[in-house]
């Protein structure tokens, strides 16, 4: 059975098979975790991302990790929160499912997630955490390859939220 962990820290320093990038649709870098990942990975990541021709909201694509401790980066585009009546919950769930599907089919053992869409995209943190944990738990019930999922929270609010929801408080 796979394990789920939560840590507070910098996802660019996580030593796992893959880290997930909360990317924008261009995949060419941006602010927040996306910019941090691109800076830490180096120019090779940007070059590989250019060849991917972007990514739609809710979908995911994989690249090498370059200068990161992680071997791979799974890029997923979270939804911008617009009040909750524009498929935001479904699209966020798709980010987690599609990222995990890529990890499983690439035969990765560990994957680390940031708090997708909860920064400038404005997704309510509690709801985002509930969706993330639910999707990961459901996926892990049937997966064969993934042994560990790590939720990497940048801020204390998300750390406490995930810890509580995972029953580790």
pLDDT tens column, 68-80: 999 999 999 999 9
Residue among 72, 92, 73 nearest 84 (CA): 92
pLDDT interval class at 1 (50, 70, 90): confident
User: Across-strand partners of 64?
Assistant: 72
Q: Active site residue: 10, 17, 34, 155, which one?
A: 34
pTM of the complete model: 0.97
pLDDT at 169 over 80: no
- Could you tell me the residue ranges of all domains in the chain? 3-165
Q: Determine the pLDDT at residue 154.
A: 92
| pLDDT for the residue 138 | 97
- What is the pLDDT, as a whole number, of residue 120? 92
Enter the CATH code of domain 3-165.
3.40.220.10
155 a catalytic residue: no
> How many whole angstroms separate alpha carbon 84 and alpha carbon 68?
34
Terminal CA-CA length for the chain: 21
């Amino acid at each position: 059975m796979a394990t789920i962990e939560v840590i507070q820290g910098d996802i660019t320093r996580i030593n796992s098979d893959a880290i997930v990038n909360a990317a924008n649709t261009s995949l060419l870098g941006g602010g927040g975790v996306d910019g941090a990942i691109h800076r830490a990975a180096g120019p090779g990541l940007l070059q590989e991302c250019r060849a991917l021709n972007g990514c739609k909201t809710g979908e995911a694509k994989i690249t090498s990790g370059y200068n990161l401790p992680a071997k791979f980066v799974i890029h997923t585009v979270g939804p911008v929160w617009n009040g909750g009546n524009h498929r935001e919950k479904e699209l966020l769930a798709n980010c987690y499912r599609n990222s995990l599907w890529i990890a499983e089919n690439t035969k990765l053992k560990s994957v680390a997630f940031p708090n997708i869409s909860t920064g400038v995209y404005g997704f309510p943190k509690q709801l985002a955490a509930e969706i993330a944990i639910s999707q990961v738990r459901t996926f892990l019930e049937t997966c064969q390859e993934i042994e560990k999922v790590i939720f990497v929270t940048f801020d204390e609010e998300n750390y406490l939220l995930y810890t509580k929801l995972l029953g580790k408080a």
